[in-house]
Amino acid sequence: MIRTCIFDLDGVLVDTARYHYLAWRRLARELGFDFSEEQNEALKGVSRMASLDILLSCGGVRDKFSILEKEEMAARKNGWYVEMISRMTPEEVLPGVEAFLTEARRVGLKIALGSASRNAPMILDRTGIAHFFDAVVDGSMISAAKPDPQVFLLGAQLTGSAPVECVVFEDAEAGIEAAERAGMRSVGVGGSPTLARATIKIDGFEGFDVAKMKELL
């Protein structure tokens, strides 16, 4: 039985991944190297500080900075990112998402967010979908990043659901692994080949409904 749907945010419900990329690339260029969209794929579903380490490794400068300097860089990147997402609108919710959330609530499913982003509550508010969620777990509430299952297990706990009753919607390999480790089924969203371990895969939410989800799972 499915009682709860747990959603990642970036790349699943809204398209904020491009804002993350633009901010990380700006930081890389300030440090004297470029950062490609292909390299950015490794940052999906990863915490801010872990993402910074990946970026610095791409530039060959990971060991050149102190912890304090890295914290300052991460804060600077986040400032640029927050500036961009503060201008988001409901039009940036991905196609089919609102219809799926509306139906899920209508049929009595619980809805939770499980995101590494500390800015998740702001994004939900700015895009007008916060009211759909029974629980919101963001980066400020967890101590371990995906693929650790902590974020999803907390979402299950806050909605009063057992892990086996939860379905995770993710667009990143680390998120699919976290769902697997949590004992939850998963829906891989998007066409990335890194989602091969998902229970089922969909291109997006257009044409996808609760009945189809239950049938495929």
Question: Does residue 8 carry a catalytic annotation?
Answer: yes
10 is catalytic: yes
Cβ neighbours, 10 Å, residue 204: 16
Closest C-alpha among 139, 134, 142 to residue 78: 139
- Conformation bin of residue 120: beta by default, left when phi > 0, alpha when psi is -120 to 50: alpha
Confirm if 76 and 55 have CB atoms less than 8 A apart: no
Distance CA(96)–CA(107), nearest Å, equals 17
Structure tokens at 126: 């700015």
State which amino acid sits at residue 38.
E
Amino acid in position 30: E
Residues 6+ apart with CB under 8 A from 47: 116, 139, 145
Asked if residue 123 lies in contact with residue 17, where contact means CB atoms within 8 angstroms, the answer is: no
Active site residues: 8, 10
